[in-house]
Chain A
Amino acid sequence: MTPAVESNPAAGDIPADGMPAAASAAAGRDTGDAFRAPLVLLLPALLGLAFLVLPPAALLLRTPWAQLPRRLTAPGVLDALWLSLVTATLATLLCLLLGVPLAWLLSRTRFPGRRLVRALVTVPLVLPPVVGGVALLLVFGRHGLLGGWLDARFGLTLPFTTSAVVLAEAFVAMPFLVISVSGALRAADRGLEEAAATLGAGRWTTFRRVTLPLVGPGVAAGAVLCWARALGEFGATITFAGNFPGRTQTMPLAVYLAMETDPQAAIVLSVLLLAVSVTILAVLREKWMTSP
């Protein structure tokens, strides 16, 4: 995110180096410094931009704005929205609680097989979410690795509950947090932790008073990514938690269901989801990510 923004001013200079002086001068004269880019790069770049921007734009263009108030207050819509926001937030909290210590472990300690563990952490990132849902069932299902024990011992049944939605979202989203935070930890100045140690701070005090404040922006960025991923989660959720309105039917599931029966409703739900996620990301970005 931020690096991409920062590299933009430099991007204008790079192509000029590779071009013959005359061509670069001509490009500079005709279109100004900002557009000194060879056509081979410019054309696919613009196509890519259009490809990313057009679909959301189409969504806005085709929205039945007049019906919006009535559609939004239709039964089930606000329930699904509320469920989505609550589960995504809970999943993010769960990821923070488990993911930050995991990231610390991966970047600050040495143990045999650490590289393997680091690779395993990213598996949910490349795993198709539906497969993730099946895998979760095999662990937490009634006859799963832990599910049977949880059921017998605590009478706890997770699949097809709101808790299952949170677990499914956390499973898929946690790698984003771990990668973001361990990147921040690796970039953070180890020297400051050494300084804290010489001043009498143990590892926990050092983590709490020095390391965590230093990687704060990284944690915030990771949490935002994590939350956005959790909000949009579909495959693992529908597999592991099912599609029960009011209990496990989050917005993406509601959109999918509506698409089969009432496409207009699907568009309205999609616009709502788009608006909510963009708004929250914008607010968080303003609050956390501008101050390093």
Chain B
Amino acid sequence: MTASLDARLVVRRPGFALELALAVAAGEVVALLGPNGAGKSTALRAVAGLQQLHDGHLRVAGRTWEEPVRGIRLPAEKRRAGLVFQDYRLFPHLSVRENVAFGPRSRGRSRREARAIADGLLERVGLTGLAARRPGQLSGGQAQRVALARALAVAPQVLLLDEPLAALDAGTRAEVRTGLRDYLAGQAAATLLVTHDPLDAMVLADRLVVIERGRVTQQGSPAEIAVRPRTAYVARLMGLNLLRGRVADGRLWLPGGGGIALTGTPESGSASSGGAVPGDVSSGGGVPAACGGEVLVAFRPAAVRLHVGDAPADRSSGGAAGSGTSALDGSRSGWSAVVEGVESHGDYLRVRLGGPIPALADVLPAEAAGLDLRSGRRLHAALDAGQLRVYPADEPDTATVTGPPADAVREGLTAPAS
């Protein structure tokens, strides 16, 4: 494997276990995306040497940095890893130039050499004029660039960025994000970026690795993940509804027991709804009826249509999801839903639906007036089959959500992205 970073990071704490297989090529930018507490920062700290591994291994450019089984552990100061902390952690008592020169100085460069390196990097990030300032006199965006320059000053083999944009206000965020992408594009180091913001991940990374509760749940290109989410968390990030079901007899059968008629080829139908989705996945598989197994169904909230009144077939069942009776009326592709909440999103309303199929639905204000969207209100929901994206629930190159996570990590995810 030509990957510059190759690792299986295992960290155990009471009530939490991280087990993450990672391979990052030199020059590649990989984003670790996940909710708070998923173990993203722990993984980053483990690579930097600030968090001890309990098992697994960490190799960078062919050299083993840590492998508990063999008793190998290189201390943080001996690793060539540049870490940009979420809160930057600039030394408040040193000038900007001295902050950037700190790394080279600590690694044995002469004062003059270290200064020259620092000045070169400060010029690259456009902060030459601020070299004599103290960190306390910098704006958030400037401090972020100093932190980046300081991490780069040690010529790291691995560049680690912990939520690099989280501490910035919305205005500077967009600007710094663009600048950061340019710096990262010209990087020779294997770069690992931690974020919980899908936009940061999409813009900055070549590849995304989604971790939830310490395990990888999905990985792939930003476009792939945006279009074919595999977990509820990813779907929510991408603003999609995600259901799991089976395809049989030309229908999509959901766990509630009902079926939705699939007309045409849902995959190709995504073109009509894919205006806001970056990239397009043309899997060529069409309706995966052939696979016969479990499928995932992703659709935008706008694909859900709400009408007043129950679905006719649902009246008898009373909407009891677990009763085994059909919650869906196949002929009308609809079900009886309960309004749980409504949020205003500017030019549309987002309705949270409960009932047999929890989903989000977008409604135009003009429609909303006729629907009377009170909490607890029962409505008939229908799906536009042409806007569904249906794909197999388990793919060979992705973590099987249903399978044992450890196996998924070990077998499925060490393969490098194409």
Contact = CB atoms under 8 A, between A and B. Distances in A.
A213 interface: yes
Contact of A197 (B49, B91, B93, B150): B49
Interface string A136-173: 00000000000000000000000000000000000000
B107 A200 contact: yes
B411 interface: no
Interface stretch (A101-109, A122-130, A188-196, A218-226): A188-196
A121 interface: no
Interface residues of A, number: 17
A202 interface: yes
Interface stretch (B28-36, B62-70, B75-83, B355-363): B75-83
B83 A195 contact: yes
A115 to B, nearest CB: 22
Interface in A181-239: 189, 191-192, 194-202, 205, 209-210, 213-214
Contact of A200 (B50, B89, B92, B154): B154
A219 B87 CA distance: 26
B49 A192 contact: no
Contacts, number: 60
Contacts of A199: 77, 102-103, 106-107, 150-151, 153-154
A240 B228 CA distance: 82
A191, A192, A194, A198: which has the most chain B beta carbons within 10 Å? A198
Contacts of A200: 77-78, 103, 106-107, 154
Contacts of A202: 77, 106
Contacts of B253: none
B93 A214 contact: yes
Contacts of B75: 197
Contacts of B91: 192, 195-196, 210
A198 B102 contact: no
B48 interface: yes
Contacts of A198: 48-50, 76-77, 79, 81-83, 151
B82 A201 contact: no
B333 to A, nearest CB: 54
A190 to B, nearest CB: 10
Given A199-B151, A201-B77, A214-B92, 6 more contacts: A191-B85, A191-B89, A194-B76, A195-B89, A198-B49, A205-B106
Interface of A: 189, 191-192, 194-202, 205, 209-210, 213-214
Interface of B: 48-50, 75-79, 81-83, 85, 87, 89, 91-93, 102-103, 106-107, 150-151, 153-154
5 contacts: A192-B91, A196-B106, A200-B78, A200-B103, A214-B92
7 closest cross-chain pairs (CB), A and B: A199-B103, A201-B106, A195-B89, A197-B76, A200-B106, A200-B107, A198-B83
